[in-house]
Amino acid sequence: VEKRLELVKQVSHSTHKKLTACLQGQQGVDADKRSKKLPLTTLAQCLMEGSAVLGDDSLLGKMLRLCGEAEDKLAQELIHFELQVERDVIEPLFVLAEVEIPNIQKQRKHLAKLVLDMDSSRTRWQQSAKSSGLASNLQPSGAKADALREEMEEAANRVEICRDQLSADMYNFVAKEVDYANYFQTLIEVQAEYHRKSLALLQNVLPQIKAQQEAWMEKPSFGKPLEEHLAVSGREIAFPVEACVTMLLECGMQEEGLFRVAPSASKLKKLKAALDCCVVDVQEYSADPHAIAGALKSYLRELPEPLMTFELYEEWIQASNIPEQEKRLQALWNACEKLPKANYNNIRYLIKFLAKLTEYQDMNKMTPSNVAIVLGPNLLWPQADGNMTEMMTTVSLQIVGIIEPLIQHADWFFPGDIEFNVTGNYGSPMHVNHNANYSSMPSPDMDHADRRQHDQARRPLSVATDNMMLEFYKKDGMGVRVMDTSWVARRGTSGVRKASSTPPAAQPPAPPAELPAAPHSPIPEQSPDISATPSPPATSFGFPPGAER
Angle at the Cα of 250 (from 244 to 252), degrees rounded to 5? 75
pLDDT at 141: 58
Q: What tens digit of pLDDT does each residue of 318-327 get?
A: 998 888 889 9
CA atoms of 166 and 169, how far apart (whole Å): 5
Q: What is the DSSP secondary-structure string of 213-282? A: HHH------TTS-HHHHHHHHT-SS-HHHHHHHHHHHHHTTT-TTTTTS---HHHHHHHHHHHHTT---H
DSSP codes of every residue in 424-479? S-S------STT---TTS--TTS-HHHHHHHHHHHSPPPS---HHHHHHHHSTTS-
- The string over 43-67, giving b where at least 16 C-beta atoms fall within 10 Å of a residue's C-beta and e elsewhere, is bbeebbebbeebeeeebebbbbbbb
Give pLDDT tens digits for 169-199. 888 888 888 888 898 999 999 999 999 999 9
pLDDT of residue 174: 83
pLDDT classification of 133: cutoffs 50, 70, 90: low
Q: Structure pTM?
A: 0.53
CA pair distance 244, 140, nearest whole angstrom: 126
CA distances (Å), origin 499, targets 63, 454, 503, 506: 50, 41, 12, 14
Residue 504 has a CB neighbour count (10 Å cut-off) of: 19
Q: Which residues contact 365 (CB under 8 A, 6 or more apart)?
A: 256, 257
What pLDDT was estimated at residue 395? Answer: 64
Handedness of CA 192, 198, 204, 207 (dihedral sign): negative
CA dist 81 and 198 (Å) reads 11
Give the pLDDT confidence score for residue 532 in this predicted structure: 36
Read off the pLDDT of residues 115-124 as tens digits, 9 standing for 90 and up. Answer: 998 888 888 8
C-alpha count within 13 angstroms, C-beta hemisphere, residue 271: 30
Q: Which amino acid is at 63?
A: M
In this prediction, residue 217 has a pLDDT band, given cuts at 50, 70 and 90, of: low
pLDDT at 417 over 50: yes
pLDDT exceeds cutoff 50 at 139: yes
Alpha helices by DSSP H, 132-220: 143-175, 177-215
pLDDT class for 394, splitting at 50, 70, 90? Answer: low
Return the pLDDT at 140: 52
- Side-chain half-sphere CA neighbours of 376 within 13 A: 29
**Mean pLDDT on 403-407:** 90
Per DSSP, the residues of 182-203 read: HHHHHHHHHHHHHHHHHHHHHH
Give the number of other Cβ atoms within 10 Å of residue 278's Cβ.
16
pLDDT above 70: residue 332 = yes
Report DSSP letters for 69-129, one per residue. Answer: HHHHHHHHHHHHHHHHHIIIIIHHHHHIIIIIHHHHHHHHHHHHHHHHHHHHHHHHHHHHH
Report the C-alpha gap between 474 and 469 in whole angstroms. 9
Residue 127, pLDDT > 50, answer yes
* Residue 123 CB contacts under 8 Å (≥ 6 apart), including other chains: none
In the chain the domains, ranked by start, together with CATH numbers, are 1-132+143-216 (1.20.1270.60), 226-413 (1.10.555.10)
CB of 524 closer than 8 Å to CB of 373? yes
Per-residue pLDDT of 13-47, as tens digits, reads 888 898 888 888 777 667 777 777 788 899 999 99
For residues 493 and 486, what is the distance between their CA atoms, to the nearest angstrom? 12
Residue 313: how many CA atoms within 13 Å on its side-chain side? 16
For residue 363, CA distances in Å to 122, 281, 367 come to: 132, 26, 10
Q: How far apart are CA 446 and CA 442, in angstroms?
A: 7
**Chain CA centroid to CA 43, Å:** 25
The one-character DSSP state at 384 is S
Q: What is the DSSP letter of 55?
A: -
Q: Is the pLDDT of residue 354 over 90?
A: yes
Ramachandran angles phi, psi of 38, nearest 5°: -80, 130
Residue 203: per-residue pLDDT: 93
Which of 493, 495, 498 has its CA nearest to residue 533?
Answer: 493
The CA-based dihedral angle spanning residues 340, 341, 344, 345, taken in that order and rounded to the nearest 10 degrees: -160
Angle, helices 101-131 vs 143-175, to 10°: value is 160
What is the number of other CB atoms lying within 10 angstroms of the CB of residue 265? 12
CB neighbour class for 100 (10 Å; exposed up to 12, middle 13-18, buried from 19): buried
Give the closest residue to 288 by CA, choosing from 276, 302, 270: 270
Q: Is there a contact between 440 and 428 (Cβ–Cβ < 8 Å)? A: yes
Report yes or no: 263 and 294 within 8 Å, Cβ to Cβ: yes
d(CA 227, CA 235): 10
Average pLDDT, the chain: 74
Mean pLDDT value of segment 490-512: 37
In this prediction, what percent of the chain has a pLDDT beyond 70? 71
Residue 32 burial (C-beta neighbours within 10 Å; 0-12, 13-18, 19+) = exposed
**Greatest CA separation found in the chain?**
162
Instruction: Report the range of poorest mean pLDDT among 13-17, 283-287, 302-306, 442-446.
Output: 442-446
Residue type, 421: N
